Amino acid sequence: MRYNLISKIANEVIDLVYPPGLYCNCCGKITDKSRTYELCNDCIGDIKWITGRACEKCGKALGESDPGAICHYCKTHEHVFDKGYACCEYGMHEKTLLYEMKYASRGDIAKILGEVIYDRMLAELGADGLRGAYDLVLPIPLYKERKLKRGFNQAELMAREFSKKSDIAFDNEILFRTRPTDAMKGLGPSERKANIQGAFSINEEKSEVLSDARIIVVDDIFTTGATLDEAAGILKDAGAARVDMLVFAAGADYLIV
Ligand SMILES: [Zn+2]
Ligand SMILES: [Zn+2]
């Protein structure tokens, strides 16, 4: 109950800081608020939504060359999180949108992506099913200096919006980063794992909330899952019963700008 109240207040503050605009959130073309996700028709059409077969473990789109229900990466690597959900593939258009959000101080885009991930889960479980499936939504935290530099944590804004729409409790203090990490861009799977190992910790004062909790962890992108697995591991060590992950885009990032 207390968490819901805090979450509600925080969401109202976010609404004041990022008022909805009249321009397409991706290309800047003039549009209006009635458009889906405040994106113009061109941009909505360019996003590669995952509507076909997806990996049952991580949620990545499966190609015609992927036999079975699990992607090649999940077949050859064990994940710590239980199940992943993604909205779209990680192509050039999605990269542009995420790049604009992170490096052009567009926190308003993160809020829209919060709506997108909510709609994804709504389609999966329905409103009541979703509310009943999880006890807590947590964002992947940024290290405090990086958050100060960027002005916001995109995963936090997405998770706040998701919490507001789904009525699942939100917390931004239970899970935190203990040290800065290198950018994952260009790193291979084992380097990613080493980069993130031990980078998260749990706020002991709040840890009782994690006991037997079913948690959904939000981030903007999923590539190998190293970050999400590290977070899931520490949450499970602290007593979480289930840790799922929910991202906007999932795929390889070797083409990142
Ligand atoms: Zn556009
Ligand atoms: Zn997979």
**Over the stretch 201-223, which tens digit does the pLDDT of each residue have?**
999 999 999 999 999 999 999 99
Nearest to 18 by CA among 112, 91, 119, 94: 112
Measured in Å, residue 75 CA sits from the centre of ligand 2 at 7
Measured in Å, residue 225 CA sits from the centre of ligand 1 at 29
Q: Give the Cα separation of 42 and 26 in Å (integer).
A: 10
Nearest to 139 by CA among 124, 165, 121, 157: 157
Q: Which pLDDT belongs to residue 143?
A: 93
Q: DSSP characters for 143-200?
A: PHHHHHHHSS-HHHHHHHHHHHHHT-EE-SSSEEESS-----TT--HHHHHHHHTT-E
Q: Which pLDDT belongs to residue 102?
A: 86
Q: Which pLDDT belongs to residue 107?
A: 86
pTM of the model: 0.85
Percentage with pLDDT > 70 across the chain: 89
Q: Which pLDDT belongs to residue 252?
A: 67
- Beta-carbon contacts of 159 under 8 Å, excluding residues fewer than 6 positions away, are 114, 137, 138, 139, 170, 172, 218
H/E stretch holding 218: strand 214-222
Measured in Å, residue 110 CA sits from the centre of ligand 1 at 16
Measured in Å, residue 116 CA sits from the centre of ligand 1 at 16
Q: Give the Cα separation of 236 and 82 in Å (integer).
A: 11
Q: Which pLDDT belongs to residue 193?
A: 87
Q: Give the Cα separation of 185 and 162 in Å (integer).
A: 26
Helix axes 189-196, 226-237, angle to 10 degrees: 40
Measured in Å, residue 150 CA sits from the centre of ligand 2 at 30
**Over the stretch 2-18, which tens digit does the pLDDT of each residue have?**
445 545 555 555 444 44
Residue 91, pLDDT > 80, answer yes
**Over the stretch 165-202, which tens digit does the pLDDT of each residue have?**
999 999 999 999 999 888 887 788 888 888 899 999 99
How long a stretch of residues is the chain? 257
Average pLDDT over residues 78-96: 93
* 161 in Cβ contact with 111 (< 8 Å): yes
For tokens 């291979």, name the residue: 188
Residue 84, pLDDT > 50, answer yes
Residue 255, pLDDT > 50, answer no
Measured in Å, residue 36 CA sits from the centre of ligand 1 at 11
**Over the stretch 38-61, which tens digit does the pLDDT of each residue have?**
777 788 788 889 988 999 999 999
Residue 113, pLDDT > 60, answer yes
Q: Which pLDDT belongs to residue 253?
A: 52
pLDDT category at 23 given cuts 50, 70, 90 is: confident
Measured in Å, residue 235 CA sits from the centre of ligand 2 at 21
